[in-house]
Structure 1
């Protein structure tokens, strides 16, 4: 087996072999960067009950609580979050470390955990948003049932009705604009994607539902 592998590697350019570890290195660099925690945000570690299955790796949750609500970050056992005060500031510095920086899996989770913590802090302080633009003749949106039901007219024979998921605020500033807001970026983006699926932008007439600054290159139909 080793002989076959060595023969295969002879035909692989050296540059491609090095690229396999570049992602992990990048993640470790991201992980080393501290996250600034405002004085309005609190981080609380919650230890989850041990699983009855001995094979399952125990994990903990980090509660991120701020003015707009609270979110949770799942942490593997080798991840540690340390908070230190910042001189002449009411904010704190949160640093994420791992047990073994040479372990590839830990390096990848290092950067991922840091990025997720940054998103959660932003979510509970400022919140996340997405703006959807309805482009098409007769395309309209309206909100009903005290903001819990989104209705859209998108050129179909019927009106599209979509319940607004919990944790997401939906408003219609204009008939062709839908504003989604929430503390959880994933929930906001997922609902925006579900709305977009009803009219994915098409490249010939430029019609569809566009998210934020999304654009599309218009194609010219070939004349036979």
Structure 2
């Protein structure tokens, strides 16, 4: 007996799904999927950081955390020329400091050595990253989903803090639109002479925003705002808060743009 083409194809489809389900039971493939389970290798990457950044790991458990999830966590302190940050580390995350084999030479000493040396070719090939310090992150059990998720997250947070205290983060906001502008004015209710950010972006009244502590706000012009700080999350969140009052729209391409943000122009709807 010959089967109809649509019935035959549906049977083949169900057979393939059954094979995938049996493979999933052995941990080789995901249910109803033709691809293998993705593995994140972010946590395995070695973190390199310069010698002007100091990292200390306090193994004392946190007994009274501000957030309940940080109970029994340890504390990682990241210090640099621009500031200091602390990060709670889960008990199952292990941090290992790796000593560099090459001795540390400051940029001034390296420049002096290059001026006094006759062999300039070898000095040109010195990789400054070879003088960096290193640390690695591991977890107790890679099969536990929570540990695997926090593995990469913790590694990214530490890397962001290292960049923040050594180089800092900077976000540029551009105002595009007739009459759109910003200004810094003193807060009349503040005793510390703190300034507020006033936005004029098409409302009947100016939008007044308090600048969070830890963020430096500069205005090169009335249509540009430069935010800088050591905390990447804090800087980008404040930039997003400013942007939400006039997000870019595609028809006239007006609004508040962050860094090199662009938007594709749409044609207006014609009746």
Please give the range of the TM-score, normalised by the shorter of the 2 chains.
Answer: 0.7 to 0.9
- Unmatched 5+ stretches in structure 2: 1-14, 22-28, 105-131, 187-192
The yes-or-no answer on 1:160 pairing with 2:207 is yes
- Give 1:174 deviation, angstroms: 1.2
| Structure 2 residue matching 1:199: 3-state secondary structure | coil
Q: For 1:104 and 1:157, how far apart are their aligned partners in 2? A: 50
Q: 1:170 aligns with which of 217, 220, 230?
A: 217
Q: 1:10 aligns with which of 6, 13, 18?
A: 18
The yes-or-no answer on 1:101 pairing with 2:142 is yes
- Give 1:10 deviation, angstroms: 3.2
Deviations 1:67-117 (A, max 9, x none): 110112221101111112212243311111111223332222111111111
The yes-or-no answer on 1:50 pairing with 2:91 is no
Q: Which residue of structure 1 lines up, in the alignment, with residue 26 of structure 2?
A: none
Matched positions, count:
212
Relative distance call for 1:18 and 1:32 in structure 2 (3 A) is: farther
- Return the TM-score normalized by structure 2: 0.71
Q: Which residue of structure 2 lines up, in the alignment, with residue 190 of structure 1?
A: 237
| Structure 1 residue matching 2:228: 3-state secondary structure | strand
Aligned positions of 1:1-224 closer than 5 A: 10=18, 16-17=32-33, 21-22=37-38, 25-26=39-40, 29-46=41-58, 47-50=60-63, 57-90=71-104, 91-145=132-186, 148-224=195-271
Q: For 2:70 and 2:96, how far apart are their aligned partners in 1? A: 25
| Structure 2 residue matching 1:138: 3-state secondary structure | coil
- Return the TM-score normalized by structure 1: 0.85
| Structure 1 residue matching 2:214: 3-state secondary structure | coil
- Give 1:149 deviation, angstroms: 1.1
Contact 2:250 2:265 in 1 (8 A): yes
Contact 1:152 1:161 in 2 (8 A): yes
RMSD across aligned positions (CA): 2.6
Contact 2:20 2:34 in 1 (8 A): no
